[in-house]
Structure 1
């Protein structure tokens, strides 16, 4: 018994409108409706193309049968149709839309719209594309155009097509283990946590880590950054970035404050503790005594880097403001004393003239 490699035939009771719609299908669509690959069972077999395609390349198998992925076939009874992508669209993908005319008749003044707004001036191009889509590109698209001879010669508009750009992966979350306030000398692991969409699980992500506006590790496959021996110099604001290999999609986490706790309260200040300045982890090398510069301190050129405010600069500004307040108090005392002195001298200098 041999399985027939063809679609189940529809009943022949078709209205003229349906026959017209079927004639509108491009040849490329009809070619898709073929049995591709090799399907075999113990009792029957079906071979559409003897191109050496093995069952290992098939999508899935059920009890010896091999099936392709399903797709939706939409037959439209319109002068114009907008052909959109059949597969789901994710961040970083390209989007191509075709404005298809009935029997491929010539069109002029073709315009593409999204959510009712024109995406450009009318022109002869029947194709609209976005090289790298974002979630903001989601919406309802349609096209319009004017048929030339032998068409109706009037403006026509295609039915809208919904395009949803799905999130490839959420913004990462930076977490510290075992704690964001470790004891000096203990290990710390920073983990940049995010998850790819199951439909794009094969996509590779590269992870970068930053501290106080400087790169401590750039574009690595590992989502973890380890500090083997934490010292006070490792305290600071950390954040991470997850990006695709082509850097078309990249997202960074929020800041995470890491504060390494010294052995006693007297060693809390990293700038006044010489012992803490001598200890360094294998991931970080010091170039300035008060503020060590981590290795690979080369800002990535593939994506802009979010630079938070420097906490050390903020501390110095706080000290300066305190000094200014002290000077203001001293000036206040000086003004008070000057007023008192002028009050004692006033009766002597303002005597009325003798009559």
Structure 2
């Protein structure tokens, strides 16, 4: 009876085979670079869903691909390399890269990933905690902060632009003040907390407010897997006016009269403290009678970028309807056979005599005088250029030419139908 009871107690609490998460590996102190001879502590925290265990759960430690002999929950190390841990039945943890330096000056960065909105702390440390004077911090080769003596450089709310390569420099008194010394460069990456939101129209089945006659919009985004428990708030805007301020709900119902106005909406996602805020592109709602197709509601990227909401007031207008005149090459021109039409755009038989003139024919009639004038100007310019070339090559022939009046067009082949040009007086 007792063995059976023990087996029942070993069943997971949910009654099903539970999927264990990765154990969490931490470093104390939290710096990935240390001086030679120093020791740090690694701690492995795993998840154990069993109600009762007959023996303690062992922990496996890895240095690269080498299995370490210790099975304790925490270990002290001083060897550089990539460390991982694993608890019984769980996947391997995320790695921690430990570096060991023999330099006079090192730049220490935290082992844990830094996300948007979180503080980023950098520490410039002298050999075995010697005081560093005339301390400079550099970001991608540019000096960003100066301290008279040892101090940490802190970015209160990190952003993606704070990613890059950092370095520090300073002097130490050993025993007299040394020349400026530089640390090795260290790469820092600020992780994205959540993606920029996308505003979309929900379908009739998934929309809660569709039965009320409105259109339901949803502000969609995705959190980083390590920050999936971070709560986000959402706000919705119509042009520059907030139609719903920050709230926990990611959906908003647009009243039916406003849908018919074809006015633009966009949304904003933010953390509860507003340390990270991101805006979506504009959404152009479909017109009356158009199907609510989510794939066709997001405005094109260039237009969305041009109207991206900013910090200063904007003047909002609906997109203008294009009224541009058709290209001249698509208009049939009977004044000259020199103009060639593309094979795909060759003129076809015209409409019946009783048919009203089309907009294309009206625009062609308006363009015809301009085309004729352009051809006359081009022919006149051609004659003038020919006389200049002839004068440069054969001055005697030009004098004979002046003695016999002749129009410039007599020296050139003019296609039938080309308007005649007037003689040019020299």
TM-score range (shorter-chain normalised) is: 0.5 to 0.7
Task: Spell out, residue by residue over 1:220-263, the C-alpha distance to the aligned partner (whole angstroms, 9 max, x if none).
Answer: 11111123645566641111111111111111111112255179
How many Å separate the matches in 2 of 1:257 and 1:114?
41
Change (3 A) 1:88 1:48: closer
How many Å separate the matches in 1 of 2:202 and 2:55?
58
Matches of residues 252-291 of structure 1 in structure 2 within 5 Å?
Answer: 252-261=279-288
Deviation at 1:69, TM superposition (A): 5.9
How many Å separate the matches in 1 of 2:47 and 2:284?
57
How many Å separate the matches in 2 of 1:230 and 1:193?
24
Please identify, of 120-129 and 155-164, the stretch whose mean Cα deviation from structure 2 is larger: 120-129
> TM-score scaled to structure 1, two decimals?
0.57
Check whether the contact 2:139–2:166 (CA below 8 A) recurs between aligned residues. yes
SS at 1:239's partner residue?
A: strand
How many Å separate the matches in 2 of 1:43 and 1:173?
50
Deviation at 1:162, TM superposition (A): 0.2
How many Å separate the matches in 2 of 1:164 and 1:84?
11
**Residue in 2 aligned with 1:62?**
88
Deviation at 1:178, TM superposition (A): 4.1
> TM-score scaled to structure 2, two decimals?
0.48
1:137 equivalent in alignment to 2:170: no
Q: Number of aligned pairs?
A: 239
4+ runs of 1 displaced by more than 3 Å?
33-49, 65-70, 149-152, 227-235, 303-312
Change (3 A) 1:118 1:260: same
**Residue in 2 aligned with 1:120?**
145
**Residue in 1 aligned with 2:294?**
none
Check whether the contact 1:213–1:306 (CA below 8 A) recurs between aligned residues. no
**Residue in 1 aligned with 2:229?**
202
SS at 1:208's partner residue?
A: strand
1:85 equivalent in alignment to 2:110: yes
Change (3 A) 1:308 1:173: farther
1:311 equivalent in alignment to 2:317: yes
Matches of residues 214-293 of structure 1 in structure 2 within 5 Å?
Answer: 214-227=241-254, 229-230=256-257, 235-261=262-288
Deviation at 1:45, TM superposition (A): 6.2
Change (3 A) 1:237 1:42: same
Deviation at 1:121, TM superposition (A): 3.5
Q: CA RMSD in A?
A: 3.9
**Residue in 2 aligned with 1:98?**
123
Change (3 A) 1:62 1:35: closer
Deviation at 1:97, TM superposition (A): 0.4
**Uncovered stretches (5+) of structure 1, i.e. residues with no partner:** 1-19, 50-58, 264-302, 316-355
How many Å separate the matches in 2 of 1:235 and 1:308?
18
Matches of residues 320-331 of structure 1 in structure 2 within 5 Å?
Answer: none
Bigger relative contact order (CA 8 A; separation at least 6): 1
Check whether the contact 1:169–1:195 (CA below 8 A) recurs between aligned residues. yes
- Of 48, 51, 54, which aligns to 1:42? 54
Change (3 A) 1:305 1:178: farther
How many Å separate the matches in 2 of 1:175 and 1:209?
12
**Uncovered stretches (5+) of structure 2, i.e. residues with no partner:** 1-33, 59-71, 75-84, 205-209, 291-308, 321-426
How many Å separate the matches in 1 of 2:53 and 2:145?
54
Larger radius of gyration: 2
How many Å separate the matches in 2 of 1:34 and 1:220?
38
How many Å separate the matches in 2 of 1:106 and 1:224?
55
Deviation at 1:21, TM superposition (A): 4.7
Deviation at 1:62, TM superposition (A): 2.8
**Residue in 1 aligned with 2:239?**
212
Task: Spell out, residue by residue over 1:173-226, the C-alpha distance to the aligned partner (whole angstroms, 9 max, x if none).
Answer: 1112349xxx9x843111111111112111111100011321111111111112
How many Å separate the matches in 1 of 2:182 and 2:287?
65
Change (3 A) 1:206 1:213: same
How many Å separate the matches in 1 of 2:240 and 2:44?
56
**Residue in 1 aligned with 2:36?**
22
How many Å separate the matches in 1 of 2:46 and 2:221?
36
